Amino acid sequence: MTIAYQLDTAGAAFRRTEIERRPLGPRDVHLDLQFCGICHSDLVAASNKLGGGMYPMVPGHEMVGIVTEVGADVEGVSVGDAVGVGCIADSCRVCKSCSAGDEHYCDTGFTLSFNSKDREGRVNYGGYASDYVVDYDYIVPIPQGADLARMAPLLCGGITVYTPLKRFGVGPGTTLCVLGVGGLGHLAIQFASAMGARVIVASRSAAKRADATRLGAEVALDPDSAALQDWMGQCDLILDTISNAHDLNRWFPLLRRGGKLCLLGVPTEDLSVFPALIVFGDRSLEGSLIGGISDTRDMIQFAHEHGVGAEIELIQPDDIEAAWHRLHAGDVQYRFVIDLRSLGDG
Ligand SMILES: [Zn+2]
Ligand SMILES: [Zn+2]
C-alpha cells in the first residue's frame, strides 16, 4: 500500500492514510518517492477556488523518486535511476500541441499528476506520498550526483520560468526584470543569470533584494525608490511572478520597444492595462504555463550543469499542514520540500 497525506474535502486538514496506486502497466514505472516540493498551486487546487477539486485529494506535483519497478515495454530507464515527475502525467500524444512537445496545451486536456483523472478514468493522487506510478514518456531523468531535494521544485517552478526565458530568447545581450522574489522569482534569477542575461529585480523586501543579488541579479531595486527611473526602456522581458492583484501599468515603461511582460503568476482578480502603454511602445502582454516534457528534461540538465537549484526548507511529512499555513502567509525561503524517505519502508 501507498502511505499518503490526504485532504478529505476543500479546507480539511491533512490526514495520513493509505491509498492504492494503479497496477503497474507495461509502459509504467513505479517510483519510491524521495522528495516532493510544495507549490502554491497545490493550495489553489485544494481550496477549490477555481473549481474542479476531486476529493479525497493527495496534492503534490514536484516529485523526485527512485525507480523500483518498470513495465515490460519501458525503455531507457532502469531500476535504481532517479527520475522526476512534474505537473504532466499523461496527454493524448497525437494532437498538434503534443506533437510539438507542448503536452501542457494538449487539445484533450493533459492529465495532471494529481487532482485529475487518468486516461482510464481513475483519479490521480499526487506526490505527498510514499510512491507513484506513471507512464515512462512523462518522467524526467535526474542527472547522477544531483541534489534530489533541490531538484524537486524545478519540476514545476523551474520549468515555469525556463519556458518563457527560452521562448523569448533570453541570453547574452538581453536584460530581464523579475517581479517578485519567491518560489518562481528566485529560480528565474538563477536561470537567466546562467543563460548570460543581465538580471534586475524589483522587491519591497530588503532581505529578498539581498538574496536576489546573491542568486545572480546585477541590480535589486526597491520599486518605490527613484532608482526605478534609471531602468525605463531598458528591459527586453519582464517575468511577473506575482500571484495576487497588482498594478501592471507601472511596469510596462521599463520595457524597450518590442519588449514583453509575461505573466507567470495567476491572480484570480482582474488586472487592468492602459492601452497606450502597449500601443505606443510596441509592447505586449504575454502569459506562459509550465512547459512540455522535452523542455523539462532540457531544463533539469541545464540546471545541473550550471548549479541552479531551489533554495529549500526541508520538512518532514507530519509538518505539511504547518508548511501550508506558512506558504499561505508567504513565509518560506523559497520552497518547502517534503522529505518522503521515511515513508518508503513504513
Ligand atoms: Zn506547481
Ligand atoms: Zn494532445
pLDDT attached to residue 47: 92
Task: Give me ligand 2 centre to Cα 97, in Å.
Answer: 6
Nearest-angstrom CA–CA distance, 29 and 205: 43
For residue 345, name the pLDDT band (cuts at 50, 70, 90).
Answer: low
Helix-strand-coil percent breakdown of the chain, rounded to 5?
30, 25, 45
Task: Give me ligand 2 centre to Cα 38, in Å.
Answer: 27
Cα 186 to Cα 4, 101, 109, distances in angstroms:
29, 26, 29
Task: Give me ligand 2 centre to Cα 293, in Å.
Answer: 12
Nearest-angstrom CA–CA distance, 60 and 84: 12
Nearest-angstrom CA–CA distance, 176 and 178: 6
Residue 316 has pLDDT above 80, yes or no: yes
Q: What is the mean pLDDT of the chain?
A: 96
Nearest-angstrom CA–CA distance, 20 and 315: 24
pLDDT attached to residue 160: 98
- Residue whose C-alpha is closest to residue 50's, from 266, 295, 308: 266
pLDDT attached to residue 243: 86
pLDDT attached to residue 193: 98
pLDDT tens-digit profile of 33-50? 999 999 999 999 999 988
Task: Give me ligand 1 centre to Cα 260, in Å.
Answer: 23
Other Cβ atoms within 10 Å of 316 Cβ, number: 13
Mean pLDDT within 196-202: 97
Domains of the chain and any CATH numbers: 2-156+291-343 (3.90.180.10), 158-287 (3.40.50.720)
Task: Give me ligand 1 centre to Cα 243, in Å.
Answer: 12
Task: Give me ligand 2 centre to Cα 46, in Å.
Answer: 26
For residue 346, name the pLDDT band (cuts at 50, 70, 90).
Answer: very low
Residue 237 has pLDDT above 50, yes or no: yes
DSSP state of 129: B
pLDDT tens-digit profile of 239-250? 999 988 999 999
